[in-house]
Structure 1
């Protein structure tokens, strides 16, 4: 039948087909295999998926799928039909799973996934972000791009400071997409000495599969990055909270952005009441496409942090910064805001390592009955939490196949 359909019509049909089915359809005919595997079709399929997500073409928000990662032995509550609760402790491991963003989260995954890498020294890979269906994980020497829908990965080593005996004192990452070419880009800022700016800036593009140094000068700030928060990529740029290096005059805080198309840095001012706060324990995330400042008490080891949440209602307009609310969970301290949920609640990690969902306007806190059990001598449990919206894509289709699915939950 496909012999009688023009390629344009066939493409219009197939871009609406889920990835799993497309993998089977490649066996229908050589022409179908060639079409589905082509870069042009992969880009068209991705654009269609992004259009659906951005225009809310889902029947219900609860149908949206999220990727959830946590590490270490966790305790969760299991209730029977009579409401009797039993606490169960899982084995110590790194866990990835897909969930519906509804009342079943985080106890009823729709699909369990194996990590796309081998663990080493009991450490987990920080997640830079999730974009175009690709998860980006990093350690001190390498980066892994992983497509959970296809179970394919691509690994690359860093250029600067990747050797065993030399590495930067800190490196910061940003994951974004060139709005013109749709090419996925990873920017890396390597601080070679403590509190010395500017850092070396390098960029990796998925199309070229290679690193190169960015020509534009690096920022004269120390950038901070939450351990595993969803990416703050909007208006074609990645965003970080940043501060002046210690010992260089009065403290100053800004948002530093990196334009993925033009590959240049620029600054966005913070609300005036936050711009000169020392040890500003905040990070930047997204809410409905707007920049939002949220508390992050893991950024610094300092006792001071803000519990307020601010939104920039009009991108780049400093006067549009508006305080949304304060987070009040009683005697429990806020360790980290993980993300905003589809129902408007915040997913929080408390000082007691509990996973909480917080309704900001009623100030009601729901215990999700899921917490990290402390491991001997470790401090990375809470930072391993990562939650972000998952979207199927064919990106990395032509990479080596690696079977990573554990199994669908019945």
Structure 2
């Protein structure tokens, strides 16, 4: 394992081709400090390579070593190198007793994604549990946004009807967009939103913006600094659109005209990122009786400015369940680095039963089933945490340890 040893305080002299690091030491007599010996000469590229090998928690601590390391670690060049070098991870999150009165708890597990497309099993480790948190009525989606998990829970407060977490890669800034005007407030003249800028564990600022009225029907997905979510606009027309929110400039950029089929499942729409573009996975349940699908359409937003969508249809070698409400349902929440579209269940399969996800390769048209070991698949786990009833679950691929302040 690579390690980095730091001494403090330190004085650094930076040249164009290398970094010279000196140590300031106390004199033996306790008098003023004087320059110490040359510790090492470390080329910039080597320093970057060394730091990218460290976990995110260590890098957050090293921000305090000196201004040079702070600037380096916070630079966009280093952030890009860090995420490119790290193997991506997956997140499994589920809640106990989604519809009952038992004590609530949110479970968050993670594991390293496969390096081979032939893997048939992965291992998830329990990272943390959060008491008194659960999701109800199908609000099952947990999105990984640049290293942070965005959890959405239906609220009893109508004033805050929809919140999405976005990330601005230019300024390295997290922002939450909240719809203030309620979906139940009929015939509003304008829609009011609040943009909350987050940083260092607190709210940095709050601003409001307005837009023409619309009716929001999906959760948001942030892709390359822009947040997308499905809606109907104008308000009363039920004309499908995708709202595009510019995270950095804090403005509704456009209402993107959308084919009706893209939003046919409304709140159950699976919005993903596919090859860097917004896309929607639409299961075709008509051929198999309406409760499962063996075929799906992939709608890709090819051009945001021109409102151009493309459609691809894929056949599956097996049927996957897709029932609404609290029934069993397979949805897609994204792809892995190999470009495979991942389908995962929205509820645990049952008491101490194996948890499986399915990987579909659009190029080879092949599907593989992968077991995720450790996801409440033993009687001991269920008994220890008192799991009962239906447990909502979410599988989020391509998660990375964050090195950003939030």
TM exceeding 0.5: yes
- Name the Cα RMSD after superposition: 4.4
* Higher RCO (C-alpha under 8 Å, 6+ residues apart): 1
1:325 aligns with 2:308: no
Which of these residues, 74, 78, 82, is aligned with residue 43 of structure 1?
74
Q: In the TM superposition, what are the counterparts of 1:3-402 in structure 2 within 5 Å?
A: 3=11, 5-6=13-14, 9-10=18-19, 12=44, 13-16=46-49, 17=51, 18-20=53-55, 23=58, 33-35=65-67, 38=70, 40-44=71-75, 47-51=77-81, 53=83, 64-71=87-94, 94-102=107-115, 103-104=118-119, 107-109=122-124, 112-115=126-129, 118-120=130-132, 122-123=134-135, 129-139=143-153, 167-168=157-158, 171-192=161-182, 194=184, 196=186, 199-207=191-199, 209-210=202-203, 214-226=207-219, 231-234=221-224, 236-244=225-233, 248-249=236-237, 251-272=238-259, 274=261, 279=266, 281-295=268-282, 307-319=296-308, 321-334=309-322, 335=329, 336-349=331-344, 354-369=356-371, 376-378=388-390, 380-381=391-392, 384-396=393-405
CA distance in 2, matches of 1:107, 1:276: 32
The answer as to whether partners of 2:240 and 2:258 remain within 8 angstroms in 1 is no
CA distance in 2, matches of 1:280, 1:93: 22
SS in 2 for 1:49: helix
TM-score using structure 1 length: 0.63
Question: Could you list the per-position Cα deviations for residues 30-62 of structure 1 after superposition, in whole angstroms to 9, with x for gaps in the alignment?
Answer: x97133774x34422x54232564xxx55xxxx
TM-score using structure 2 length: 0.63
CA distance in 2, matches of 1:363, 1:167: 45
The answer as to whether partners of 1:131 and 1:175 remain within 8 angstroms in 2 is yes
Question: Could you list the per-position Cα deviations for residues 355-409 of structure 1 after superposition, in whole angstroms to 9, with x for gaps in the alignment?
Answer: 222233444332224588897543x52xx3132323344323xx8xxxxxxxxxx
More strand by share: 2
Instruction: Report the CA distance between 1:96 and its aligned residue.
Output: 1.5
Structure 1, gaps ≥5 residues long: 74-91, 142-165, 400-410
The answer as to whether partners of 2:345 and 2:357 remain within 8 angstroms in 1 is yes
The answer as to whether partners of 1:252 and 1:276 remain within 8 angstroms in 2 is no
Larger radius of gyration: 2
Q: How many residue pairs end up in the alignment?
A: 326
